[in-house]
Structure 1
Amino acid sequence: MAAGRAGAAGLRLLVGGALGLVLLLPRPAEARGLRFVILLYRHGDRSPVKAYPRDPHQEGAWPQGFGQLTQEGMRQHWELGRALRRRYRGFLSASYRRQEVHVRSTDLDRTLMSAEANLAGLFPADAAQAFLPNVSWQPIPVHTVPEAQDKLLKFPLGPCPRFEQLQNETRRTPEYLNETARNARFLQMVANETGLPDLTLETAWSVYDTLFCEQTHHLPLPAWASPQTMQHLRRLKDLSFRFLFGMYQPTQKARLQGGVLLAQIQKNLTWAASVSQHPKLLVFSAHDTTLVALQMALDVYNGEQAPYASCHMFELYQEDDGNFSVEMYFRNDSTKAPWPLTLLGCSQRCPLPDFLRLTLPLVPEDWEQECQVTSSLTDTEVIVALAVCGSILFLLILLLLTILFRMQAQPPGYRHVADGEDHA
C-alpha cells in the first residue's frame, strides 16, 4: 500500500518546522527558472457521502459504499498526473526520485487513493524501476495522519470556539437572514421530499451532493429533483461554502481556517528559497473545503465548488537577478490550460517578499490562542445579565428597608416586676 504514516522527521521537513518569514538575500544571477512547486488538489469522482432518508438509492447501490473513489475518479487523477508530468517536464527528473517529492493526504480512502492514482500518472515506472514485466505502476509513499489529529488539510478545522462563535454571528447577518427567508418555502419542499428534518442553508449541500452523484452515475432521480430544483440546490451548495469561510468577518475566518494551511505554504516557499538542496514538489491531497478555505483566504475564489481533481498550483521561480517570485494557477478544467491567479495588491508574477507580506495578515500567530473566546456573552446576554443583577439588588435593598422600618415601628417593651422585688 502506497499510503504510510508520516515519519516525524519527514513531516517536520516539509509541512512543519519553525521557519520565520524573512526577507531573503538574492542569490547570484542566473537564468530564470522554476525552483519549487506546491500542489493542492481535490480527490476524484466519488460516491455520495450519504443518502437522504427517502432516497431509493441507499449504500448498497454503490459498489464500495459511501464516500469512496470511483473508477472515474481514478481516471481523473491519473489524467491529472500525466498533465503534471507534461507541465513539469525538465523540472522533475524523468523517473521517480524520492528526494524530489513529498505527498501528504488526509486520512480518508478517497484522498489516499486519489494521490496514488495521481502518482501513477505522474511517475510511471521506467524499465529500471519496473518490478514486474508489463507493469508500469510503482509504489510511491503517501503520508498521512489520523483524521482526528489533522490540523492542516481537513476543513473546517476544529474544535475552535471562536470560529463557532463567528458562525453564530454569521447566522444573524442580514444576508443570511434574507437568504433564509427567501429560500424557506423551497427548503421546506426539499425537507418534505427527502425526509430530512430542519433542512437549512448550511445543510442543503448534502442533498445536492447525493443527487449530483446519482445523476453523474446515471441513477434515476425522483420526479421532484427537476433541473430547476437541481440548479436551486447547487446555488445553495455554493452559498454554504461562503457561509463557512466568507460572508462575514472573512479575515478572521481565514486566520482560523485557510490561513493555517497558508502558513505552511509560506514556510515551505521561504525554506525552498533559502536553501540549495530541497525537494522539488510538495503535494497535498485533500477536499473541496480545503481548496475553498485556502482560495477564500487568498481572495481568489471564483464562487463555485472546486471540481473533482481540480488543482491549485504554487510555483516558486528564481528570477534572472537572483530574487524569487511566486505564481499561482488553478486547473479546474481538464480541457483547458490552468487559470492564472493574481493575489490582490500584487502582479501575477508576485515577488516572494510581497507575497509573504500580503498574506501575513491571514496567518494566525497562535491558532490555539486565537480559537479561544474572550467573552462568551453577546451584547444582549450582557444586558439581560445586568438587568437580572440589578433586579436582585433592588429586591435586597427593599427587603432591608422593610426590616428596618418594622423594627422602628415596634412599641417599646417592658419588664415584668415580680412580687417582693425591691424598689428604689
Structure 2
Amino acid sequence: MSPTTATNASNDKTPALLRRTLFHSKAPTIAAFLALLLATGLSWYMGVPVGLLKRPHTSYAPPTDDDYTLCEAKTPDHTTYRTLPGAQLVHIQVVTRHGDRTPAMAILPNEQADWRCDNAEEVTQLADSSTDASDAKDSEHAQRIGAYQRRVVVPKRPAYRNTVWSSGSCSLGQLTLKGVRQHKALGEQLRAIYVDHLKVLPERLNASTLSAQLYARSSDVQRTRQSAAALLTGLWPLKVRDPDARIIPLHVYPEEAETLWGHPNDCPRAASVVHAVRSSPEYEAYLERHAPLRTRLESLLGTSGIGKYERSFLRYLDPIYPRVCHDMPLPCGESGCVTRADAEELAHCVSEEYTILRGTHTHAAEYNRLTLGFFLGELRDRMMAAIHADAARHTDTAKQHTVQSPMFELFSAHDTTIYGLIGALKAKDMRWPPYASIATESAFDSDDARLLTS
C-alpha cells in the first residue's frame, strides 16, 4: 500500500474515504465506485494477490506461480492480512464463488463418470413462522411442519445417457463434501481475521447482532446456498450462536431478476456484443492458436460438429477439470484419453477466452456493464449506505444507535460473477476463479490527510 496526498481535506467528521474519494457525490457512478474500491483496498484470493486498476488490458499473460489451481483458491490468512494504518474498518463486502462441485454445464458423449454425493446430502426443514403459528420473532421457534432429505437418483435408462451420467448420486453442478469443507475453512479464516484479530465482528451471534452485523445473499442455486451456509458456519459456529440466531436469513432473488449473473438472452445488446467478440479477428486468432487441442479433443470425445463445443473451450473444461480435482480418470475415446496436460491447457484456454470477452476486447467494458452492472450498482449502493451510516454516527449523536448498516455482507455467487468483477476492475491476473474464490471490498474511516491505494 502506498500513500498519496489528498487535495480536498475538510474538518468535518465525514469519513475521509467518502470525502476524498467520491467528493461528496450523492449518487456515485460505477466508475466512481471502482475508484472507491481502489481507495479502500480490494483484496482478491484466487491463488495469488491481484493488482487492480494499474493499466488497461493489452493481452493475456498469466502470472507464473506454483500456488494457483482451479481446484481450490488460496484462503486469506490473518497473519498476513493488511489493514490501513490509522484507519477504522467500517464495512466489509465478501463475494465468493461456490465450493467444489460436479460438472454443471455439459455431459460429454458417452459419459461414464461416477459422481457420489451421498456424504453431502441436503436436509430441508419446513416451518410456519407466521404470527398465528408463533409469537416468537425468530424462525428458530417457528412451528415446524416437517423436514425432508434430498437424495438424487439417476435413472438407468439409455435415453438419458447424454443428459446425465449413467451412475452415481449427484445432479449436475451439485456441491460436493469437498466444496462444503472448502467454504467452512474459508469462514474459519474470516473469523480469525475479523473476529479474533481485528475484533470488528462479534464473537457470538444473537438476534440483535445478527440483524445489525450481517447480511447474506446467494443466487438461488443449491451449490451457492450450501456454500454460504458452510462459510457462515465457519465464521460463527453453532456453539457461538444463541438459540435466536441459530438460523441465519439467506436472501435470494428470483432467477428472472438475479443480478449475480447476466441474462444475455433477455438483453439483445449483450447477445450481440458476445457475437461481435466471438466473430472478431482477436477471437479468431485465439481459436487458431489452440486449434490442435480442439482437434485432439474432438477426435477423443466425439464432439466434432456439435455446435456448443465449436466456439468455446468452457464446454470442455466444465466436465473435464472437476475430474482432475477429484483424481478421477479423465475421459477416453477409441483413440486414447484426455491427459492432465490437456486439462491444464484447457484451463489456460478458458482464461484466455474470457480475458478477451471481459478484458481486452473493445466491447469488454460494455459487456461487463450489461451483464454485471446491476450487481456492481448494488455493491456500490450498499457500500455507500454503510459509509453514510458511519458518517451519521460521527456527526449526530442522536443517530448513533438508530442509523445502522450491516458490518459484514456476504454474496455467494459463481465463477462468472467473480470473473466479471475482476474484468470490470481491469485486474492484471485474469485466470479463471478457482472453487471458493473470494473478493473482499472494505471501507475504512480515517481523518488522516492521505489516501492509501493498493
* TM-score, normalization by structure 1: 0.64
Q: For residue 145 of structure 1, report the CA deviation from its aligned partner.
A: 1.7
Q: For residue 71 of structure 1, report the CA deviation from its aligned partner.
A: 0.4
**1:177 is matched by which residue type in structure 2?**
E
SS of the aligned residue for 1:283 comes to strand
Question: Given the alignment, which residue of 234, 240, 245 partners 2:347?
Answer: 234
Moved over 6 A (4+): none
Q: For residue 297 of structure 1, report the CA deviation from its aligned partner.
A: 0.3
Are the equivalent residues in 1 in contact too, given 2:219–2:252 (CA < 8 A)? yes
SS of the aligned residue for 2:285 comes to helix
* CA deviation string 1:31-60 (max 9, x = no partner): 621000011000000011132113222535
**1:173 is matched by which residue type in structure 2?**
S
Question: Given the alignment, which residue of 289, 292, 296 partners 1:182?
Answer: 289
After alignment, is 105-114 or 191-200 more displaced? 191-200
After alignment, is 69-78 or 119-128 more displaced? 119-128
Change (3 A) 1:273 1:201: farther
Task: Tell me whether 1:143 sits opposite 2:251 in the alignment.
Answer: yes
Question: Given the alignment, which residue of 176, 182, 188 partners 1:82?
Answer: 188
Change (3 A) 1:303 1:106: same
What is the aligned residue count? 298
Distance 2:310 2:355 in 1: 11
Distance 1:324 1:308 in 2: 36
Distance 2:340 2:283 in 1: 25
Q: Following superposition of structure 1 onto structure 2, how do residues 105-120 of structure 1 map, counting pairs within 5 Å?
A: 105-120=218-233
Task: Tell me whether 1:266 sits opposite 2:380 in the alignment.
Answer: yes
**2:266 is matched by which residue type in structure 1?**
P
Q: Following superposition of structure 1 onto structure 2, how do residues 16-415 of structure 1 map, counting pairs within 5 Å?
A: 20-21=27-28, 32-49=87-104, 50-57=106-113, 59-89=165-195, 90-96=199-205, 97-98=209-210, 99-126=212-239, 129=242, 138-150=246-258, 152-155=259-262, 158-196=265-303, 197-198=306-307, 200=309, 202-221=311-330, 222=332, 223-248=336-361, 249-275=363-389, 276=393, 277-300=404-427, 302-321=429-448, 347-348=453-454
**1:45 is matched by which residue type in structure 2?**
D
Are the equivalent residues in 1 in contact too, given 2:93–2:441 (CA < 8 A)? yes
Change (3 A) 1:301 1:104: farther
SS of the aligned residue for 1:20 comes to coil
**1:32 is matched by which residue type in structure 2?**
A
Q: For residue 170 of structure 1, report the CA deviation from its aligned partner.
A: 1.3
**2:285 is matched by which residue type in structure 1?**
N
Q: For residue 140 of structure 1, report the CA deviation from its aligned partner.
A: 1.2
Are the equivalent residues in 2 in contact too, given 1:187–1:199 (CA < 8 A)? no
Q: What runs of 5+ residues in structure 2 fail to find an aligned partner?
A: 1-25, 33-84, 114-163, 394-403
Distance 2:192 2:279 in 1: 49
Change (3 A) 1:302 1:35: same
CA RMSD of superposed structures (Å) = 2.7
Are the equivalent residues in 1 in contact too, given 2:182–2:436 (CA < 8 A)? yes
Q: For residue 154 of structure 1, report the CA deviation from its aligned partner.
A: 1.9
Distance 1:162 1:127 in 2: 49
Change (3 A) 1:279 1:157: farther
SS of the aligned residue for 2:102 comes to coil
**1:213 is matched by which residue type in structure 2?**
P
* CA deviation string 1:192-220 (max 9, x = no partner): 32232236564321222211112222321
Q: For residue 118 of structure 1, report the CA deviation from its aligned partner.
A: 0.6
Of structures 1 and 2, the one with the larger relative CO (CA 8 A, separation 6+) is 2
Change (3 A) 1:324 1:306: farther
**2:181 is matched by which residue type in structure 1?**
R
Distance 1:310 1:128 in 2: 26
Q: For residue 95 of structure 1, report the CA deviation from its aligned partner.
A: 1.2
Change (3 A) 1:272 1:157: farther
Are the equivalent residues in 2 in contact too, given 1:259–1:294 (CA < 8 A)? no
Distance 1:320 1:85 in 2: 27
Q: For residue 104 of structure 1, report the CA deviation from its aligned partner.
A: 0.6
Are the equivalent residues in 1 in contact too, given 2:112–2:166 (CA < 8 A)? no
SS of the aligned residue for 1:191 comes to helix
Are the equivalent residues in 2 in contact too, given 1:238–1:304 (CA < 8 A)? yes
* CA deviation string 1:46-100 (max 9, x = no partner): 0111321132225354422221000000000000011111111110111122221
SS of the aligned residue for 2:337 comes to coil
Q: For residue 242 of structure 1, report the CA deviation from its aligned partner.
A: 2.4
Q: What runs of 5+ residues in structure 1 fail to find an aligned partner?
A: 1-18, 24-29, 132-136, 326-345, 349-424
SS of the aligned residue for 1:40 comes to strand
Are the equivalent residues in 1 in contact too, given 2:309–2:316 (CA < 8 A)? no
SS of the aligned residue for 1:220 comes to coil
SS of the aligned residue for 1:121 comes to helix
Change (3 A) 1:77 1:154: same
After alignment, is 220-229 or 274-283 more displaced? 220-229
* CA deviation string 1:249-304 (max 9, x = no partner): 22222221233322222211211111242111111000010000011001125121
**1:190 is matched by which residue type in structure 2?**
L
